[in-house]
Amino acid sequence: WSQTGHRTVGEIAEQNLNRKTKRVVGELLDGQSLAAVANFGDDIKADKRYAKFSPWHYVNYPADKKYTDVTRSPKGDLIQGILECERKIKDENSSRADKVFYLKMLIHLVGDLHQPMHVGRLEDKGGNDIELKWFGRNTNLHRLWDANLIDDYQMSYTELAVDYPKITKREKKQIQKGTIYDWVEESQDLANEIYGSVTAGERLGYAYRYKYMDVVRNQLQKGGLRLAKVLNELF
């Protein structure tokens, strides 16, 4: 996601942390909000020392297979990244600095897990090779879903983080059910639908945004609620 997307996930999660988690996370983040640190995972990409974390932002596997049935990439992927963050945070032998690092990464990666094109096809790099026009400008299918749909909407992350769609406590609990293995399959299903929603070179604009903006917002909401669940269980 773009910066606004990740911040929205952080903000929604923050609203759904229990008291103890809020205290421990607040202490680790020196009082910063989840939204404030949600882009850490992308911010460190420019620094070569962090190169080994680059494959953690996405996962590619065949659309007719489940993640749990394929051989995991030895370089790591989004799911292995999330699991490693959880492990480092739980490990009594981790330094405080490591816990802070992996907490910030975890906040970022649970967001990426809910960007469907981060669970896309290897052959087009999660839609990066599918060129499109968006309101007359060049883009690609990956960037359309990372950034264009959200950013051109001109809403702040706090506006995007209001309960929308409006759901009951029961529905929230329902969204929080399952594990990252269920959530990755859900994102892959959505990615398949999104691949079918365009043809390479197509000109897109209002009609596409009208059709998919609620899907984007729904993914941000799910990402935030599930990040809260993951953190509430960790702390």
Tell me: does residue 187 bind ligand ADE (CB under 6 A): no
- Shortest Cβ distance from residue 76 to ligand ADE (Å)? 13
Tell me: does residue 41 bind ligand ADE (CB under 6 A): no
Task: Give 60's Cβ-side CA count (13 Å radius).
Answer: 11
Rg of the chain over Cα atoms, rounded to whole angstroms, equals 17
Stretch that binds ligand ADE, among 84-92, 121-129, 185-193, 220-228 (CB under 6 A): 121-129
| Rounded (to 5) percent helix, strand, coil in the chain | 65, 5, 30
Tell me: does residue 60 bind ligand ADE (CB under 6 A): yes
Contacts of 46 (CB under 8 A, 6+ apart): none
Name the residue whose CB lies closest to ligand ADE. Answer: 126
- Shortest Cβ distance from residue 40 to ligand ADE (Å)? 17
Tell me: does residue 125 bind ligand ADE (CB under 6 A): yes
Would you state the structure tokens that stand for residue 121, as one six-digit string?
A: 């096809």
Tell me: does residue 58 bind ligand ADE (CB under 6 A): yes
Torsion angle in degrees (nearest 10) through CA of 100, 163, 110, 5? -90
Residue of 74, 63, 213, 40 whose CA lies nearest to 123: 63
Give me the helix-helix angle, 3-14 and 206-234, nearest 10°: 40
Helix/strand number for the chain, H first, E second? 12, 3
- Shortest Cβ distance from residue 123 to ligand ADE (Å)? 9
Please pick, from the candidates 10, 126, 223, 224, the single residue that binds ligand ADE as defined by CB under 6 A.
126
Picked from ligand ADE, Zn ion, none, the partner binding residue 122 (CB below 5 to 8 A depending on kind) is ligand ADE
Q: Which amino acid is at 127?
A: G
Binding site residues, Zn ion, CB under 5 A: 41, 57, 112, 146
Please pick, from the candidates 81, 116, 120, 224, the single residue that binds ligand ADE as defined by CB under 6 A.
120
Q: Which chain residues interact with ligand ADE by CB under 6 A? A: 58, 60, 118, 120, 122, 125-126, 128
